[in-house]
Amino acid sequence: MKRFAQLIEELDRTTRTGEKVDALSRYFGQADPADAVWTLRVLSGRRQRRIVSGRQLRIWAAEWAGLPPWLVEESYSVVGDLAETIALLVAGDAGGVERPLHRVMEEDVLGLRGLTDEELRGRIRTRWSELGFWEAFVWHKLLTGAFRVGVGKGLVLRGLEKATGIPRTTLAHRMAGEWEATPEEWARITGPEQEEDDLARPYPFFLAHPLEQEAEALGRMGAWQVEWKWDGIRGQVVRRGELVAVWSRGEELVTSSFPEISKAAAALPDGTVLDGEILAVDRHGESPIPDTPKVRPFSDLQRRLNRKRVGPGLLRQVPVHFLAYDLLEAGGTDLRTLGTADRRRRLEALLGDAAPLVGAGITASPLLEPTDWEEAASLRERSRELGVEGLMLKEASAEYGVGRTRGPWWKWKVDPLSLDVVMVYARAGRGRRANLYTDYTFAIHDGEELVPIAKAYSGLDDGEIREVDRWIRDHTLERFGPVRAVEPDLVFELAFDGIRRSSRHKSGIALRFPRIARWRRDKPAGEADTLDRAEALLRIGPDSPPSPTARVEELSLFDAADP
């Protein structure tokens, strides 16, 4: 347990990716398999069921420390992390009692299930008398099922790859599906490579840079392949031997989330790897883009993400489709050194031959054929009404590279939408920003009333954050736990990528990926935008029905959607 706590401390004390990878590699290289497999399970996002509530911990910690509950609540609002707050209140200074992590998990986490509240309180108080700060911090996170410490699954895979020498895509494939935290599973995950590992492995994704210069600077229009930039999740479909695997750009194996794509891919020729976009679609709607299904909003696709099993109801409600725009392997031959246009011709031929078998689950994305950059710009301006994000520009002769290489691929996205909004609520951040108010709720005018429309926490620089924080503290009207209602005086320009109706907001509208574009110091609150203005923006894009279960502002795998 001490070694695991030391790892968490190392990860917490640095923001450098390389240092985090090194810390994980050292740990996995030295830890006992029985402990290492639990660390892998916990850090890779395999959450355990919550054993104790945060409220129970705060009450018992107040009793332990001899403090009034309100003071513990205040401490929590300042520290910003419950596990850290409780650890500061209860941990001793003797350095903790050493017990292996697997015993802590089996006896002091899973072993507490089914206890009465009084039995649970007694066991927790006993452990508090034995734990140092970092051990207590880690244990509280395990108990509450909220183990988020600044490392994602991708970072864990990089650390494990460095420790074992096994490619992270192989490790990701081995870690897919259900597995228990046992030494036997650790041996399976980190053991010698098998033939099926190669069969499942995707290629590194080639990524595009945002186009920041004039498009004309790229030269002759005919030297570029032009496509729509789709609003979905970038993915690769691998079909080798009897195996089908679907990978996201973040090297997440998402085969189980999209069974209809897997079924269609099984009809592809052996030795095929496609690069493309996973999209939520309306099978019965008419698409404004010829030869494609009607694409539904990204928020609908979110309902399909991170699911080990997709039930028949959700399959009917949110069908998905794979639009392929590149062929990386055919007949087992790596095609990445061929030019973009050559690979595209081979893709069209392959999918044309396989169409009767593949069905409607996988098709080629359409190409655009503008005669000059002016016509390309006109196409880009139509993006929102067509339900896409802009254009992709790919050099026709370019090989398929690795990572984000400037030059061969560009994403020419449509400019974001914006509204001038008024700050009405503020909440302190987490971690290193726990003492600053950095999470804001914004509203727009609806007659004489201000109605909330979005939350945002990015876009201001450090100096502006500190200035806004001071203003919030001086202009608080009410407090609701960690949230402060503030005088509705500050105006900000909020940029966002999409807008749709939503029952989750009093305004009836939700924004996709809202972020602060600038602080409008020049504008009084009375001149901020209105609900009528937001309603007008709704009419810019294609009509789509509201999805009451979709959480538009909380993005899942959002980065994976952007090549």
What's the rounded mean pLDDT across residues 531-558?
A: 53
**CATH architecture group of domain 206-413:** 2-Layer Sandwich (3.30)
pLDDT at 178: 66
Domain 417-540 has CATH 3.40.50.10470: no
Q: What is the pLDDT of residues 404-434, one digit of tens each?
A: 788 899 999 988 889 999 999 999 886 566 6
Measured distance CA(49)–CA(143) in Å, rounded = 8
Per-residue confidence band for 325, with pLDDT thresholds at 50, 70 and 90: very high
Return mean pLDDT, the chain: 85
- pTM value > 0.75: no
Q: What is the pLDDT of residues 232-277, one digit of tens each?
A: 999 999 999 889 999 988 778 888 889 999 999 999 999 999 999 9
As a whole number of Å, the end-to-end CA separation of the chain is 40
What's the rounded mean pLDDT across residues 173-182?
A: 77
Which residues of 201-289 form beta strands (DSSP E)? 206-207, 209-210, 224-229, 233-240, 243-248, 272-282
User: In this structure, how many other beta carbons lie within 10 angstroms of the beta carbon of residue 13?
Assistant: 10
3-class DSSP assignment, residue 510: strand
Measured distance CA(471)–CA(287) in Å, rounded = 48
Using the predicted structure, report yes or no on whether residue 547 has a pLDDT greater than 50: no
Q: What is the pLDDT of residues 499-510, one digit of tens each?
A: 888 877 788 888
Using the predicted structure, report yes or no on whether residue 382 has a pLDDT greater than 70: yes
Share of the chain above pLDDT 70, in %: 90
Measured distance CA(315)–CA(329) in Å, rounded = 29
SS (H, E, C) 289-313: CCCCCEECCHHHHHCCCCCCCCCHH
Q: What is the pLDDT of residues 386-409, one digit of tens each?
A: 889 899 999 999 999 877 788 899
pLDDT at 551: 33
Is 229 in the active site? yes
Domain boundaries 2-144, corresponding CATH code: 1.10.3260.10
pLDDT at 172: 77
pLDDT at 359: 61
Using the predicted structure, report yes or no on whether residue 555 has a pLDDT greater than 70: no
User: In this structure, how many other beta carbons lie within 10 angstroms of the beta carbon of residue 6?
Assistant: 15
Among the residue ranges 79-83, 85-89, 372-376, the one predicted with the least confidence is 79-83
User: In this structure, how many other beta carbons lie within 10 angstroms of the beta carbon of residue 364?
Assistant: 22
pLDDT at 96: 52
Domain borders along the chain are 2-144, 206-413, 417-540
Among the residue ranges 271-275, 316-320, 466-470, 551-555, the one predicted with the least confidence is 551-555
Using the predicted structure, report yes or no on whether residue 195 has a pLDDT greater than 80: no
Using the predicted structure, report yes or no on whether residue 144 has a pLDDT greater than 90: no
Asked if 272 contacts 329 with a C-beta cutoff of 8 angstroms, the reply is: yes
Could you write out the DSSP letters of every residue in 46-57?
-PPPPSS-HHHH
Measured distance CA(397)–CA(391) in Å, rounded = 18
SS (H, E, C) 417-446: EEEEEEEEEEEECCHHHCCCEEEEEEEEEE
177-202 exposure pattern, b = at least 16 Cβ within 10 A, e = fewer: eebebeeebbeebbeeeeeebebbbb
What's the rounded mean pLDDT across residues 505-520?
A: 88
Share of the chain above pLDDT 90, in %: 42
Strand pairing class (209-210; 409-413): parallel
Using the predicted structure, report yes or no on whether residue 18 has a pLDDT greater than 60: yes
Q: Which residues face 423 on adjacent strands?
A: 442
Among the residue ranges 33-37, 259-263, 558-562, the one predicted with the least confidence is 558-562
- Candidates 191, 115, 148; CA nearest to 11 is 148
Measured distance CA(185)–CA(170) in Å, rounded = 15
Q: What is the pLDDT of residues 204-244, one digit of tens each?
A: 889 899 998 899 999 999 999 999 999 899 999 999 988 99
Could you write out the DSSP letters of every residue in 335-362?
-TTS-HHHHHHHHHHHHHHHHHHHTTSE
What's the rounded mean pLDDT across residues 531-546?
A: 69
244 or 480, which is more confident? 244
Q: Of these residues, 20, 229, 294, 394, which one is catalytic? A: 229
Q: Give the CA angle between residues 551, 547, 532 to the nearest 5°.
A: 90
What's the rounded mean pLDDT across residues 100-104?
A: 88
